[in-house]
Copies of this chain bind each other. A is one copy, B any other.
Amino acid sequence: MKKKILIHDIAKHLGVSIATVSLVLNGKAREKRISDTLAEKVLKYVDEVGYKPNQLAKSLRTGKTHVIGLVVEDIANPFFATIAALIERKALARGYRILYCSTNNDTTKALDLLAMFEEQHVDGYILALPNGVEAEVSALVRRSKPLVLFDRVLPGVLTNTVVVDGVAGTYVATQHLLAQGFTTIALIITQLEQTQMAARQQGYAQALREHNQPELVQEIAFPQEPEQIVLAMQRFFEAHPTCDAVLFATNYLGVSGLEALGRLGRRIPEQIAVVSFDDNDLFRLYSPPVTVVAQPMETLAESIIGALLNELERPGTTDALVQIQLTPQLVVRQSSIRPVAL
């Protein structure tokens, strides 16, 4: 068990001062007029003995941890898992680590996580939060903490945001269903109080309004076992036998929806057409393949990390907010194509 080597040991061995070693390691050799020869000697020896500065001490002194706090709704949700994987890779490439947590849409848990991240002195925040935490996030903004909200924003909180245009997404999807000739189009949605869901409802409502068609919206309460969600949907479809198309507002509703329709023995798209927000393996490989409103995952992740790094590495200036809205893409598959033979 080798003893932990300290900056002091480096300095002593090389016969230079601690300050010299520290300055060289922090790239301030030139600035502080340390000769290149000496700087190289230091770097060479540091590399040789594998000296790594104690990050805790460094962080305590500088106030920087190079850790980013990532809050998602649920890391087991494919949308968030994919985004997390992409963000992690991009952050790591820029020298930042990710401390992550899931809120499971619980406001209390979200507040705890924000407090915890603060205690850990994360350098920046990437957040997909439930409502009810506006005051705390505003406080972070006020204190100029680097921060990006994604997926959904918070009413009244003015900060950096990266979202996907939910209105356009469901508008286009609903138009598509109408164009196919479906007449009774249901929207199954959850957490309407969240901005991304409100947007998805709006796009749906707008398209129907333009065609003078009535809305048929079923909201499903969120924190529930999948089985409960499936049962709720079974009840809904049984109560609405004339419904000939359905739009699921998010991936896990789509999955539960397919399960519910399967149990009821409804044939897709002959008896009911299906479209879901978010793409994944299941929708692509299902029989029939499911039409989806796909979010641009790569661009989303790139925009999020870009916006945050912009804040993290700004030279302390007052810069404009970054507010990005990306456009989702309708991927038409068989589940929403009206059969030719009626």
Contacts and interface: CB of A to CB of B under 8 A. Distances in A.
Interface of A: 1, 52, 54-57, 59-60, 65, 67, 74-76, 78, 81-82, 84-85, 88-89, 92, 97-102, 115-116, 118-121, 142-143, 255, 258-259, 262, 281-282, 284-287
Contact of A99 (B59, B85, B98, B286): B98
Contacts of A59: 56
Given A81-B81, A259-B285, A287-B287, A99 B67 contact: yes
B81 A285 contact: no
Contacts of A97: 99, 101, 116, 120
A165 to B, nearest CB: 24
Contacts of A60: 54, 56-57, 60
A21 to B, nearest CB: 17
B55 A121 contact: yes
A191 to B, nearest CB: 19
A218 to B, nearest CB: 20
Q: How many copies of the chain does the oligomer comprise?
A: 2
Contact of A101 (B81, B88, B120): B88
A166 to B, nearest CB: 23
Contact of A287 (B1, B52, B286): B286
Max chain B C-beta neighbours (<10 A), residue from A75, A81, A84, A97: A75
A288 to B, nearest CB: 9
A329 B255 CA distance: 23
A49 B229 CA distance: 42
Given A75-B81, A97-B101, A99-B98, A120 B88 contact: no
Nearest to A60: B56
Contact of A55 (B57, B85, B89, B120): B120
25 contacts: A1-B142, A1-B143, A55-B119, A55-B120, A60-B60, A67-B99, A75-B84, A75-B88, A76-B78, A76-B81, A76-B85, A78-B78, A88-B101, A88-B102, A89-B102, A97-B116, A98-B100, A98-B101, A100-B100, A258-B285, A262-B285, A282-B285, A282-B286, A286-B286, A286-B287
A74 B287 CA distance: 27
Contact of A56 (B52, B56, B99, B259): B56
A258 B282 CA distance: 11
A47 B88 CA distance: 35
A337 B208 CA distance: 45
A89 B98 CA distance: 17
A254 to B, nearest CB: 10
Given A56-B56, A258-B285, 9 more contacts: A1-B143, A56-B60, A56-B65, A56-B121, A75-B85, A76-B81, A88-B102, A97-B116, A255-B285
A99 B59 CA distance: 16
Contact of A102 (B1, B85, B262, B286): B85
Contacts of A284: 259
Nearest to A289: B262
Contacts of A1: 142-143
Contacts of A116: 97
